[in-house]
Amino acid sequence: MSAAPHDPHGSRVVLVGSHDFAHLTPLPAVARNLARLRELLTDQQVWGLSAQNCVVIEQPEHRDQVLDALTDAAAAATDLVLLYYAGHGLISPDTEDLLLSLPHCRPDRAYTTLPFQDVRNVLRSARRVPAKAVILDCCFAGRALTGAMGTEDSRLAELSRVEGTYVLAAASATRQAVAPVGERFTAFTGRLIDVLEHGVPGGPRALDLATVHAHLHRVLAESGFPAPQRRNDATTQRRNDATTTTVPGSCWVGTDTPRRRPKRRLDWRHT
């Protein structure tokens, strides 16, 4: 069965990043992550998402700022809602669940952070949204997959029970993500951006996120970085430019059997 790519008019993206902190080490590459991802997603030759459909929250002051934006995006989306977060990941001392850092958060005070459970709750309530995706580039992001009582291998997180959600996480539940000194982007997002720009050399014409994950797993491990994790409750594909040079073809993300698209078009869809 073939499926049309995601409609940029009916999709909403929320890009969140914390890079300068009062009580944690700075992550200057995160700001560049946000800027480049926004450029790609709003580029008419990549996806063509309108500026108002791609909300960037850099240095969020409070968790409600993120949750309100995600709730608004889910309410407005008729196709896809995508959340991307980059910053420090912390572990709750009480539940051992993932906490997303905010610029003024204190590591010993969970209420100053954004608990990932709050993100789960927003996505769980967005039942009418056909497709949902979460990309996490932070330490211990694998805890978004496992939940407090699970193990990394079981991946029985509550978020996995939100229909139509694909989660791609930069690191496992017990390893830290890496922001290499001197690199433009963080290790994980930099390789993800490279895939969005150039595809996977030698890969299939259409790349689903499982293929993207496998590629990122390999290239990051080869460079000595933590291997990314995933939770697949949806199918997402991107057109692979690295194997297509003859047809003005398309970078795109969809599901099932991809249709031929003009070059460098990007869309997302779940099954």
- Tell me what the pLDDT averaged over the chain comes to: 77
181 pLDDT higher than 80: no
Per-residue pLDDT band for 262 (boundaries 50, 70, 90) equals: very low
pLDDT digits (tens, 9 = 90+) for 102-131: 999 998 899 999 999 999 899 989 999 988
* pLDDT for residue 19 is more than 90: yes
Q: What is the pLDDT of residue 175?
A: 61
Supply the pLDDT for residue 145.
Answer: 67
Tell whether 128 is covered by a domain.
yes
Amino acid identity of 32?
R
Does residue 264 lie within any of the structural domains? no
pLDDT band at 146 (very low <50, low <70, confident <90, very high): low
Is the pLDDT confidence value at 244 over 60?
no
Instruction: Say if 160 falls within a structural domain.
Output: yes
How many domains is the chain partitioned into structurally? 1
Domain assignment of residue 149, given as a range: 12-187+226-234
Instruction: Say which CATH number the domain at 142 has.
Output: 3.40.50.1460
206 belongs to a structural domain: no
Domain assignment present for 198: no
> Has residue 6 got a pLDDT over 80?
no
Q: Which pTM was predicted?
A: 0.81
Q: Say if 93 falls within a structural domain.
A: yes
Q: Do the strands 89-91 and 98-100 form a parallel or antiparallel pair, or are they unpaired?
A: antiparallel
> What string of H, E and C letters represents the secondary structure of the chain?
CECCCCCCCCCEEEEEECCCCCCCCCCCHHHHHHHHHHHHHHCCCCCCCCHHHEEEEECCCCHHHHHHHHHHHHHHCCCEEEEEEECCEEECCCCCCEEECCCCCECCEHHHCEEHHHHHHHHHHCCCCCEEEEEEECCCCCHHHHCCCCCCCCCCCHHHHCCCEEEEECCCCCCCCCCCCCCCCCHHHHHHHHHHHHCCCCCCCEEEHHHHHHHHHHHHHHCCCCCCEEEECCCCEEECHHHCCCCCECCCCCCEECCCCCECCCCCCCC
Distance CA 47, CA 84 (A): 16
- What is the tens place of the pLDDT at every residue in 38-97? 998 898 877 889 999 999 999 999 999 999 999 999 999 999 899 999 999 888 888 878
The verdict on residue 133 lying in a domain is: yes
Can you give the pLDDT at residue 149? 34
Q: Is residue 179 part of a domain?
A: yes
Assign 248 a pLDDT band (cuts: 50, 70, 90). Answer: very low
